[in-house]
């Protein structure tokens, strides 16, 4: 609710993990809402309209803002901003003079553009321009969290989740790559590079086959010294010889799945991408030759969708994730950092 007047500003919502693709949309494309209905997430890092050049702030201040390598700009907006689906907002009105955007909507460049309908305080920012996941971002100082009166639902354990329901197809019906995949894969690659401390690593076969050079081109060059393997709930237990495990992030807590034993490093992957690879579901039988007999209705499987171009990771998602990992400061990653951590 509004911290100023107590007006109810959202429908009842429960907390889930901040999606990894939150700040990374596809260039000049309209996007669906970031959040599922009746959910909210919190961004622990500074975000929003205020940015400063990296060298203006200084290295220590950059690190406190969550940036650990040279970056073109460092965010200085509020920490702990709260994101909801636009459809879950209540009793807020647009502030017309704050509604600038690039071309097809509002991009929030002037700060909060939604006012509380009760008292007129600026409380939130609506984003819906092209290149942005549609969202309403509530300012943490302008709102208060109050119990909805609905019974609290405990956080499900890994074995209580319907994992297959989280899978996100990599290719849309029109043959374009999923925007979520184009952002989530480079975020995971940045974590993988840090987990491997800059050593060349081979991706699991199905991942390398689907994503091709577009993904492997971001990894340290050279003959693979390490092997990454998919691991997680419902999969065979990791082997003691595994080097790095690609594991899902919990959809509610955002925490990476951890193997019950072993010391392999883990690189977290968006559960939507992980579930596609790890739980392929029902597979099509081989197509039969000849014709279907007269009077028999076809019930065979549609062919899997094929993308119309090769996979292109969201480069800003990669470099921004990389500079936000404290591990990027390690000497072992210096050569890699100088080549790949292009200032976002």
Residues of this chain that interact with Zn ion (CB under 5 A) are 2, 4-5, 7, 116, 118-119
What is each CA distance from 6 to 10, 119, 149, 226, 338, in whole angstroms? 12, 9, 16, 55, 50
The nearer residue to Zn ion, 5 or 225, going by C-beta atoms, is 5
User: In terms of CB distance, is 6 or 280 closer to Zn ion?
Assistant: 6
Is 335 strand, coil or helix? helix
In this complex, which beta carbon is closest to Zn ion, that of residue 78 or of residue 116? 116
- Rounded CA separation 109/48 (Å): 8
Q: Closer to Zn ion at the Cβ: 3 or 208?
A: 3
Q: Cα-Cα-Cα-Cα dihedral of 92, 93, 95, 101, to 10°? A: 90
**Shortest Cβ 5–Zn ion spacing (Å):** 3
Rounded-to-10 torsion of CA 203, 201, 270, 246: 80
Smallest distance, Å, CB 117 to Zn ion? 7
Helices (H) and strands (E) in the chain, counts: 8, 13
Alpha-carbon gap, residue 187 to 319, rounded angstroms:
8
Residue 5 or 332: the one with the smaller Cβ distance to Zn ion is: 5
β-pair type (81-84, 135-138) = antiparallel
Could you give the 3-state DSSP secondary structure of residue 216? Answer: helix
Nearer to Zn ion, 7 or 235 (CB): 7
Nearest distance from C-beta of residue 231 to Zn ion, angstroms: 48
Q: CA–CA separation, 253 vs 52, rounded Å?
A: 30
The least CB distance from residue 91 to Zn ion, in Å, is 8
Least distance CB 139 / Zn ion (angstroms): 12
Distance CA 150, CA 36 (A): 18
What is the closest distance, in whole angstroms, from the C-beta atom of residue 136 to Zn ion in the complex? 15
Question: What's the min distance (Å) between Cβ of 43 and Zn ion?
Answer: 22
Nearer to Zn ion, 5 or 237 (CB): 5
């Amino acid at each position: 609710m509004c911290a100023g007047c107590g007006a109810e500003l959202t429908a009842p919502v429960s907390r889930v993990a901040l999606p990894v693709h939150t700040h990374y949309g596809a260039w000049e494309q309209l996007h669906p809402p970031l959040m599922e209905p009746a959910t909210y997430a919190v961004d622990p890092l500074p975000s929003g309209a205020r940015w400063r050049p990296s060298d203006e702030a200084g290295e220590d201040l950059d690190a406190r803002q969550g940036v650990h390598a040279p970056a073109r700009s460092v965010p200085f907006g509020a920490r702990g901003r709260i994101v909801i689906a636009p459809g879950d907002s209540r009793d807020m009105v647009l502030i017309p003079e704050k509604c600038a955007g690039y071309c097809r909507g509002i991009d929030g460049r002037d700060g909060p553009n939604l006012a509380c309908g009760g008292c007129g305080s600026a409380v939130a920012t609506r984003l819906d321009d092209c290149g942005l996941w549609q969202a309403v971002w509530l300012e943490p100082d302008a709102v208060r969290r109050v119990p909805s009166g609905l019974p609290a639902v405990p956080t499900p354990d890994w074995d209580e989740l319907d994992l297959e329901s989280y899978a996100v197809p990599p290719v849309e019906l029109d043959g374009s790559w999923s925007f979520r995949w184009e952002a989530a894969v480079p975020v995971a690659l940045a974590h993988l590079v840090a987990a491997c401390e800059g050593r060349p690593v081979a991706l699991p076969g199905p991942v390398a086959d689907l994503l091709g050079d577009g993904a492997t081109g971001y990894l340290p060059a050279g003959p693979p010294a390490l092997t990454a393997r998919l691991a997680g709930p419902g999969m065979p237990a990791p082997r003691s010889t595994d080097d790095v495990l690609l594991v899902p992030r919990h959809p509610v807590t955002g925490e990476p799945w951890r193997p019950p034993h072993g010391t392999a490093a883990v690189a977290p992957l968006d559960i939507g991408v992980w579930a596609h690879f790890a739980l392929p579901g029902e597979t099509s039988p081989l197509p039969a030759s000849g014709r279907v007999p007269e009077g028999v209705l076809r019930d065979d499987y549609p062919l899997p969708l094929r993308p119309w171009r090769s996979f292109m990771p969201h480069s800003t998602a990669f470099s921004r994730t990389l500079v936000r990992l404290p591990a990027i400061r390690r000497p072992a990653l210096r050569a890699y950092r100088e080549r790949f951590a292009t200032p976002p």
